[in-house]
Amino acid sequence: MTERSTEPSTRPEPVIEVERLHVHAGASHILRGIDLTVRKGEAVALLGANGSGKSTLVRALVGTVAPSHGTVRLLGAGLDADRVPWERIGYVPQRAGARTGVPSTAAEVVASGLLSGRRWWLPRGWRARVRTALDEVGLADRASSAMHVLSGGQQQRVLIARALVRDPDVLVLDEPVAGVDRPSQEAFAASVRRLVGRGVTVLVVLHELGELTELVTRAVVLRHGRVVHDGAPPRPRAAHDAVSHRHVHPHDDEARRPAPLTQNPVNGSTEEVAS
C-alpha cells in the first residue's frame, strides 16, 4: 500500500502475503478484503480496537481459521495447496488454552513446539533446546513446574518459548503482552529485539505499542475488518503510556459522527487516517 520508491529488485522477499482475504464466521463478515505483505526482516505491529479482526487475521495466517475468499502465502507456500514449512514459523496464541485435564510441565509444553508436519517425534537433544528456549524468556528455573502453578505472565512466556524453541524465521504473536506486568513486558521486548537483530521476521498483534515502539518498523491498523493504515508506526504521545497518564476520554452520549475513523488509534491525534 504505502510502498515507497525502493527498487523492487533490492527488496527482501515476502514472507507473509495476504491477498483479498475475507473471513466469515456464521453471519458476520469479520475480514473484508485484507491485503498485506510482510517482507523478510520486518517487525510489523498489527493494531486496532477489539473486534477489528486482528486475531482472526492472525488465525487465518496460521491456518486455524479457514478464509472464505482470498489467499494466504507463508514463505512462498500457499496455505491451501502447498506444503508450508511450519517448522520455520513460530506462533504464539493469545493465551494458554483452558486448563486441560492432565497437568503438564513448562518443559513439556515447550517441547511440543519442536514438532511439525514433518516431525512427529521429539528430535535428539530436545531437552537442551527446551532449556535454551526457556532461558530466552527467563524461565530456565521453572522448566519442571506445572503450567497451572505459573502466573499468567509466566504462562504467556512459556508459550513464547514454545514458539522460539523451533528457531523460527517468522514469529507471529497474538497480543503477547496483554495482561502482563511491566517487567515481563520489558523482558519480552528484549527477546523480540534479539530476534529482530538475528533477522527474524515478526508480526505482532498489539493494543498499544508500549515497550515495542522502537522495534516496530511498520504498523498496520485494522478497523472493522479492513486495513485503514499501513506504514510507519505513528509515535504515541509521549505521556500516553506513562504512569501519570489518566486514560479518561470524554464519552458523549449523542453520536457525533457515524462511521469514519475520527481518531488515529495509535497516536491519539484527531487527523483522519483512513486512506
Partner 1 sequence: MNLLTELGWMLTDPFMQRALLAALLVGASAPVVGTYLVQRRLSLLGDGIGHIALTGVALGWLIGAALGVAPEAFAVPGAVVAAVAGALAIELVRRRGRTSGDLALAIMFYGGIAGGVLLIGIAGGSNGNLMQYLFGSISTVSGSDLVLTVVLSALILVVGIGLRAALFSVSHDEEFAVASGLPVWLLNAMVAVVSALTVTVAMRVVGLLLVSALMIVPVAVAQQLTHSFARTMGTASVVGVVVCVTGLTITYFQDVSPGATIVVLAIAVYAVAAAVRPLVARRGPAADPHPDLPDDVELPPGPRARTDQEVCT
* Least distance in angstroms from the C-beta of 210 to partner 1: 15
DSSP reduced 3-state for 23: strand
CB-CB contact of 79 with 63 (8 Å): yes
* Closer residue to partner 1 in complex, CB, 64/275: 64
Please enumerate in sequence order all residues whose Cβ is within 8 A of that of 105, keeping only pairs 6 or more positions apart, or say none.
143, 144, 145, 146, 147
Instruction: Return the range that interacts with partner 1 (CB under 8 A); candidates 7-15, 111-119, 202-210, 223-231.
Output: 111-119
What type of residue is 141? D
* Distance of alpha carbon 129 from the chain centroid: 23
Query: Residue 228 and residue 52: Cα distance in Å, rounded?
Result: 11
For residue 199, the Cα-to-chain-centroid distance in whole angstroms is: 16
Site map 178..197 versus partner 1, x via CB under 8 A: ---xxx--------------
Give min distance, CB of 161 to partner 1, in A. 13
Residues contacting partner 1: total by CB under 8 A: 41
Indicate the residue among 147 and 212 with the shorter CB distance to partner 1.
147
Task: Decide if 154 contacts 105 (C-beta within 8 A).
Answer: no
Instruction: Return the residues of window 127-186 that contact partner 1 according to CB under 8 A.
Output: 144-146, 149, 151, 154, 162, 181-183
Residues 205-244 that bind partner 1 (CB under 8 A): none
91 binds partner 1 (CB under 8 A): yes
* Residues 55 to 84 in contact with partner 1, rule: CB under 8 A: 59, 62-64, 84
C-alpha to C-alpha distance for 87 and 114, rounded to whole angstroms: 8
Q: Which of 115, 189, 190, 261 binds partner 1 (CB under 8 A)?
A: 115
- Whole-number minimum distance, CB 131 to partner 1, in Å? 16
CA distance 221 to 209: 12
Q: Could you give the strand order of the β-sheet that contains 14-25, starting from the edge strand earlier in sequence?
A: 28-39, 14-25, 69-74, 77-78
DSSP per position, 126-192: HHHHHHHHHHHTT-GGGTTSBGGGS-HHHHHHHHHHHHHTT--SEEEEESTTTT--HHHHHHHHHHH
**Closest distance of CB 146 from partner 1, Å:** 4
Least gap, CB of 21 to partner 1 (angstroms): 17
Q: Of these, 47, 111, 165, 177, which contacts partner 1 (CB under 8 A)?
A: 111
Residue 103 CB, shortest distance to partner 1, in Å, is: 5
Site residues (vs partner 1, CB under 8 A): 59, 62-64, 84, 86-87, 89, 91, 93, 96-97, 100-105, 108-109, 111-118, 120-122, 144-146, 149, 151, 154, 162, 181-183
